[in-house]
């Protein structure tokens, strides 16, 4: 690997020791420099132009993936500017290279498909997987947050007036609480009984892992995703981990929960991020629409006749 990229990797890990950013950025940089086949100082703006075209039309990357690759490259050259006195100019120009993205609505799975998925998990009789995937569907956790859950992160017997909850390690290591429904609480207790029969596990930076892989250690994100894909194949559906989180958000909104409360449960830094769910399920908007349609029908109905 290029020495400068190695130093960039270490710098990213020092800045964000609990994030996966360095893994993605270094992978993106390796792909770029393998494609460019040029030394770092020789990369030009036009090389980046050509790479964007290559990503779009040869690799078939969408706008989000292209922009992530460009962000990795731009961050790398910004790092060189901090480290070197004679750093090369940054070849990534946001207004020239970044691809405009349309706003897409979250893809929420159908309730019937979610039921089929959890039926397949229940049929397998795996208490761990039931609790693991229910934490996304019933608590709104990200897959990376499920991976980080440890034995010290849950409170099953809180004080008077408090609900059972999980302490969640979110993005940028920001912590928040996720409350446990009765269904989630039962699933978690069932897994803890099974886990108590397992050999003791080593602690890591997050503590003793709550969910154990087949080797008795902490899951990787890919490991959790592969487990879900196995159940999806068995159930004949296709649902991602993040779609389970979407389903939690829309169900809370449909039940009348305030948007600001959903934002806190999801761990969104901005309310604007949470507002996208209003386009999927907005009880007030639906009520206004139904009232308006009824009023229009009443006005258009012939005198003396009831509108159908």
User: What CATH fold (topology level) applies to the domain 111-256?
Assistant: hpI Integrase; Chain A (1.10.443)
Element (H, E) at 179: strand 175-179
Q: Check whether 201 has a pLDDT greater than 90.
A: no
Q: What is the pLDDT of residues 145-198, one digit of tens each?
A: 999 999 999 887 777 778 899 999 988 778 999 999 999 999 999 999 999 998
Decide if 245 is catalytic: yes
Q: List, for residues 46-95, the tens digit of each pLDDT value.
A: 999 999 999 999 999 999 899 999 999 999 999 999 999 999 999 999 99
| Active-site annotation holder among 142, 147, 148, 195 | 142
**Cα separation, 132 vs 149, whole angstroms:** 10
In the set 176, 189, 242, 264, the catalytic residue is: 242
DSSP symbol at 56: I
Give CA separation, 101 vs 65, 104, 221, 298, in Å: 11, 9, 26, 42
Residue of 171, 174, 233, 258 with catalytic role:
171
Q: Is 38 a catalytic residue?
A: no
Q: Return the domain boundaries, the chain.
A: 3-97, 111-256
**Which residue in 247, 223, 206 sits closest to 128, CA to CA?**
223
Q: Which helix (H) or strand (E) holds 160?
A: none
Q: CA 126, CA 123: separation in Å to the nearest integer?
A: 8
The pLDDT of residue 301 is above 90: no
Q: Is 142 a catalytic residue?
A: yes
Q: Top-level CATH class of 3-97? A: mainly alpha
Among 24, 54, 68, 268, which one carries the catalytic annotation?
268
268 is catalytic: yes
Report percent pLDDT > 70 for the chain: 98
Known catalytic residue at 171: yes
Question: How does pLDDT run across 112-160, given as a tens digit for each residue?
Answer: 999 999 999 999 999 999 999 999 999 999 999 999 999 999 887 777 7
Is 242 marked active-site?
yes
């Amino acid at each position: 690997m290029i020495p400068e990229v190695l130093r960039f990797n270490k710098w990213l890990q020092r800045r964000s020791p609990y994030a996966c950013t360095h893994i993605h950025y270094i992978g993106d940089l390796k792909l770029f420099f393998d494609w460019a086949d040029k030394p770092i100082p020789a990369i030009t703006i036009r090389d980046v132009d050509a790479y964007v075209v290559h990503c779009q039309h040869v690799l078939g990357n969408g706008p989000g993936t292209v922009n992530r690759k460009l962000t990795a490259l731009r961050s790398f050259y910004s790092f060189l500017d901090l480290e070197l006195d004679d750093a090369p100019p940054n070849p990534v120009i946001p207004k020239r290279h970044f691809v405009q993205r349309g706003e897409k609505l979250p893809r929420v799975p159908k309730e019937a498909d979610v039921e089929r998925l959890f039926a397949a998990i229940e049929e397998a009789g795996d208490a761990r997987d039931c609790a693991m995937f229910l934490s996304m569907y019933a608590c709104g956790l990200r897959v990376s947050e499920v991976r980080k859950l440890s034995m010290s992160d849950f409170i099953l017997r809180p004080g008077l007036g408090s609900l059972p909850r999980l302490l969640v390690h979110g993005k940028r290591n920001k912590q928040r609480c996720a409350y446990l429904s009765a269904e989630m609480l039962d699933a978690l207790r069932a897994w803890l009984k099974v886990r108590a029969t397992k050999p003791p596990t080593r602690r890591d930076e997050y503590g003793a892992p709550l969910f154990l892989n087949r080797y008795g250690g902490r899951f990787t994100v890919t490991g959790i995703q592969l487990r879900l894909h196995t159940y999806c194949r068995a159930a004949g559906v296709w649902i991602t981990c993040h779609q389970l989180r979407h389903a939690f958000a829309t169900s809370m909104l449909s039940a009348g929960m305030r948007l600001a409360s959903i934002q806190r449960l999801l761990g969104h830094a901005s309310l604007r991020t949470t507002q996208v769910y209003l386009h999927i399920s907005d009880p007030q908007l639906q009520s206004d629409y139904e009232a308006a349609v009824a009023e229009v029908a009443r006005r258009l109905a012939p005198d003396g006749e009831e509108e159908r």
